[in-house]
Amino acid sequence: MKNSILIPSIIALSFLVCFIQTYPTGAPKCSSKVPKHESHKPQTGESPYTLTAKKNGKTATVGISGGSFKGFFIYAVQPGSSDMIGTFQTSDKVKELSCGSASAATHANEKSKNSITLTWKAPDNFSGEVEFK
């Protein structure tokens, strides 16, 4: 009796393993830098929002404001590069997305927000300019 249940379970499990898709370099957001929502597409026109950044030593305070929004996706790069640098700190409104040695930040919930403040930390031994996208 035990074998009659065990063998079909093993066969079913082996089929499931074949259909699992993984991303060797992390989630698609890290490589494409675009959220993968089914019904919501990235904005392509001019942004109605204001992005501010204020340097404070090895950190920067980054603000997003300008009206009600539910979601965001932000990351930092050096000008002329597409490689993410630095890390974001989490909060009740901010979720960090680990992308190797760097991170991006996104919304932690779908509640409407009029503004958000994030803290970004530069990599050790970093000097130079940074752009937030």
Domain range summary for the chain, segments of one domain joined by +: 2-40+47-132
Q: What pLDDT does 70 receive?
A: 83
Cβ atoms 130, 80 nearer than 8 A: no
Q: What pLDDT does 91 receive?
A: 86
Give the model confidence (pLDDT) of 117-128 as tens digits: 999 999 998 988
Q: Which residue would you say has higher pLDDT here, 9 or 58?
A: 58
pLDDT reading at 24 higher than 50: no
SS3 (DSSP) at 30:
helix
- Region 25-51: mean pLDDT is 66
Q: What pLDDT does 19 receive?
A: 39
- CATH class assigned to 2-40+47-132: mainly beta
- 85 pLDDT band (50/70/90 cuts)? very high
pLDDT reading at 26 higher than 50: no
How many Å apart are CA 127 and CA 108, to the nearest integer? 30
Q: What percent of the chain has pLDDT over 90?
A: 32
How many Å apart are CA 27 and CA 52, to the nearest integer? 27
Q: What pLDDT does 15 receive?
A: 42
Average model confidence (pLDDT) across the chain? 77
The CA-atom distances, in angstroms, between 81 and each of 25, 51, 52 are 18, 20, 20
Cβ atoms 129, 78 nearer than 8 A: yes
